[in-house]
């Protein structure tokens, strides 16, 4: 596979699908959240005398936040990411907006900072009865020590809440083949500890199904 193309949610293409994660069997782990749910202002210098040429106004450059956030680096991960596996490398990566992507077919989450992929992990997702929703979701809140009031106080540490009706990214789960969530995105604890430190309220999470993007492509 072309190494410059990837699932939007992961660092390698076929990923967990290659190890049979597409069919979820066994117990369903209760891990859904609880009841929660330029302007050009170029100042023109006064003219000491009248000239025949029109004044030239400078053209304002686009502000950095107006520029599209594109992929500048993909982590060099060899082989498919297996359940329970995660990668993180933010050494030397400049500050920039943090965006997370999750792909339901790849079953992988990726973390980008200023367009540089700094983290990737295999994740647990919802079932047909409790699907993980598609779309772009801003992080609504962060809760370091959270439990599910809806599901017998199941631990949900490092919660990044995406919806007020219970969908979140969190740790505290057994990320293995045969397990699933009630719609949440559950990642390994070590990965979530690092993600929780860099993610902020309002950062966007893009959830897709089978979408691939490559170097230079916009993330959102």
Q: Please give the Cα distance from 211 to 205 (Å, whole number).
A: 14
To the query of whether residue 87 is one of the catalytic residues in this protein, the response is no
Determine whether 170 is an active site residue. Answer: yes
Phi, psi (deg, nearest 5) at residue 112 = -115, 135
Write the DSSP symbol of residue 18: G
Contact 108/120 with Cβ under 8 angstroms? yes
Residues ≥6 apart with Cβ < 8 Å to 157: 144, 145, 146, 170, 171, 172, 189, 192
CA 190 vs. chain centroid, Å, equals 16
From 87, 130, 182, 184, active-site residue: 184
Measured distance CA(58)–CA(71) in Å, rounded: 31
Taking every pair of Cα atoms in the chain, the longest distance, rounded to a whole number of angstroms, is 85
**What is the Cα–Cα distance from 139 to 161, expressed in whole angstroms?**
6
From the candidates 87, 130, 170, 182, which is the catalytic residue? Answer: 170
The residues annotated with a catalytic role in the active site are 170, 184
């Amino acid at each position: 596979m072309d190494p410059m193309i990837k699932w939007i949610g992961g660092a390698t293409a076929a990923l967990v699908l290659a190890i049979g994660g597409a069919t979820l069997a066994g117990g369903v782990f209760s891990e859904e959240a609880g009841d929660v749910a330029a302007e050009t202002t170029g100042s023109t210098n006064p003219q000491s005398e009248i000239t025949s040429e029109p004044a030239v106004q400078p053209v304002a450059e686009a502000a950095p936040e107006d520029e599209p956030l594109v992929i500048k680096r993909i982590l060099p991960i060899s082989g498919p990411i297996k359940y329970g596996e995660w990668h993180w490398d933010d050494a030397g990566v400049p500050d920039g907006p943090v965006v997370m992507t999750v792909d339901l077919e790849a079953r992988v989450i990726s973390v980008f900072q200023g367009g540089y992929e700094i983290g990737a992990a295999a994740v647990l997702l919802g079932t047909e009865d409790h699907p993980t929703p598609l779309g772009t979701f801003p992080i609504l809140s962060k809760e370091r020590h959270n439990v599910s009031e809806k599901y017998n106080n199941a631990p949900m540490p490092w919660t990044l809440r995406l919806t007020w009706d219970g969908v979140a990214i969190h740790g505290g789960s057994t990320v293995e083949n045969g397990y699933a969530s009630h719609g949440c995105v559950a990642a390994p604890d070590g990965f979530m500890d690092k993600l929780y430190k860099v993610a902020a309220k309002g950062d966007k999470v893009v959830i897709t199904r089978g979408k691939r993007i490559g170097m230079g492509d916009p993330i959102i």
